Structure 1
Amino acid sequence: MDERSEFEDRLRQARAREGLDKRPEGRGQLPQGPWGIGLRAGVEVFSALVVGIGLGFALDRWLGTWPWLFLVFFVMGSAAGVMNVYRLFNPRTRPRSD
């Protein structure tokens, strides 16, 4: 019985080392299917824009510089959203989970 469990452990390690075992899906994985990918890309852009617009609006009201900080943070939020989508589709920038 002990030899069998030892063999199964070695087999499991070898399969994991060779990449034969399917990894469980979790956070950080690309969504499957076109709807999932499109939804994630849209959420990435929308959330970056909302944060940029919110920060710009709040700082403009606080400092009385309307509309300059709003415009600056709108552009920065737009750029951040585009960069998030670029990182979503560019496999070289995705961290490996080995």
Structure 2
Amino acid sequence: MSDGPEKPGFEDRLAAAEDAAQGPKRKAPGQSDAGSAQRAIELAMRLGVEMVAAMVIAVVIGWGLDRLLHTKPWLMILMVPVGLAAGMRNLLRADRGR
């Protein structure tokens, strides 16, 4: 006689845990997922905006310092690599966050 519903065995629990750890199953190559295409576009737009924003901010800061210190165009030129580095850092940080 059984006291209650049968408990799953170790193998069943292990298989369920492995399935949960693997996440959703991949689709076949012929199938497309509209949601994944949308997420890819969103990620590309975000990364593009991150890079452009860092460059624009660096150039504006360089331009402002050039006007303030009368050193045109040297500080603006110096800030371009700083903007590139900041943009790349933002891209790496955004990539780690997803």
Return the TM-score normalized by structure 2: 0.57
Structure 1 gap ranges (5+): 1-31
Amino acid at match of 2:61: L
**Are 1:44 and 2:72 counterparts?**
no
Amino acid at match of 2:84: S
Q: Structure 1 CA distance, aligned partners of 2:40 and 2:96?
A: 16
Residue 76 of structure 1 aligns with which residue?
82
Residue 5 of structure 1 aligns with which residue?
none
SS in 1 for 2:71: coil
**Are 1:63 and 2:69 counterparts?**
yes
Overall identity of the aligned pairs, in %:
38
- What RMSD over aligned residues (CA atoms) do the two structures have, in Å? 1.5
Amino acid at match of 1:69: L
Larger radius of gyration: 2
Q: Deviation per CA, 1:11-32, whole angstroms, max 9, x where unpaired? A: xxxxxxxxxxxxxxxxxxxxx6
Q: Structure 2 CA distance, aligned partners of 1:41 and 1:57?
A: 24
Shift of 1:90: 2.1
Shift of 1:37: 0.2
Q: Structure 2 CA distance, aligned partners of 1:52 and 1:43?
A: 14
Return the TM-score normalized by structure 1: 0.57
